[in-house]
Structure 1
Amino acid sequence: MVTIPREEYDRLREAAVADLRAYDGAKAALAALAAGEEELVPADYAKRLIAGESPLRELRGLSQVRLGAVSGVNRVQIADIEAGRGKGSVETVRKLAEALGVRVGDLV
């Protein structure tokens, strides 16, 4: 038997509950990944987005030429979207998202 002050017991109990919540959250996130409901975003890519870079820029290693060939969108239009000179129509963004394997919302 161990005797500890009530304050210490309460602190340890709160820490254990927080750990359980974190575990449940991580388990739910892994389930969402496995079900295809979520995807991982590389940290360097997320940092570039936060810095204001276009999501299309070399996304997943595709050049503008290759992305244009895969999506059917003109390379010049892709360059304009990346540079912020244009946004692209809904159809264009849909084609790009499909070619990149991401959701439309990931590009807008």
Structure 2
Amino acid sequence: MNNVAYVTTPGGEELAILPRSELDALRESLDHAQALGSFRAGQIPGLTPDEARALVAAVSPLAFWRRYRKLTQAVLSASVGVTQHYLSEIENGKRGGDVALWLRLARALEVPVEGLVDEGD
């Protein structure tokens, strides 16, 4: 954070200008802190090293968490009001879903919605 420049707007508001790389590093630190807070609050279960590797290797975080909760696609899809085929396509990245669906999935799987999507999505 050595390259921060400060400017004052005509209205008197002080703004900080920093390089994009430093902004990205701050965002990454915030994401990490929020995830750690969610873990400590019991919102995200702790994973064993094998489970963490399985999460990384899974076709999608949604697929991992469904398996982690020992749910079939048929059971999860019925609980959130979509077809099993549609859920399969979402898990495999072939289709998306609206925000309401992702919230229902997160509730059904007992994980924050942020835990169900890849960062690039």
TM-score range, shorter chain: 0.5 to 0.7
| Residue matched to 1:87 | 96
The yes-or-no answer on 1:53 pairing with 2:62 is: no
Q: How many residues align?
A: 77
CA contact (8 A) 1:64 1:79 kept: yes
Cα deviation, residue 106, structure 1: 0.4
Q: How does 1:1-108 map to 2 (within 5 A)?
A: 33=40, 35-57=41-63, 58-108=67-117
Please list every run of at least 4 consecutive aligned residues from structure 1 whose deviation after the TM superposition is greater than 3 angstroms: 42-45
CA contact (8 A) 2:44 2:111 kept: no
Unaligned runs of 5+ in 2: 1-35
User: Which structure carries more helix by proportion?
Assistant: 1
Query: CA 1:38 to 1:56, structure 2 compared with 1: closer, same or farther past 3 Å?
Result: closer
Query: CA 1:42 to 1:80, structure 2 compared with 1: closer, same or farther past 3 Å?
Result: farther
CA contact (8 A) 2:90 2:96 kept: yes
CA RMSD of aligned residues (A): 2.2
Cα deviation, residue 37, structure 1: 4.9
Query: CA 1:91 to 1:52, structure 2 compared with 1: closer, same or farther past 3 Å?
Result: same
Which one has more relative contact order, counting CA pairs under 8 Å at least 6 apart? Answer: 2
**Identity over aligned pairs, percent:** 38
Q: TM (normalized to structure 2)?
A: 0.53
| 3-state secondary structure, aligned to 2:103 | helix
Unaligned runs of 5+ in 1: 1-28
User: Which structure carries more strand by proportion?
Assistant: 2
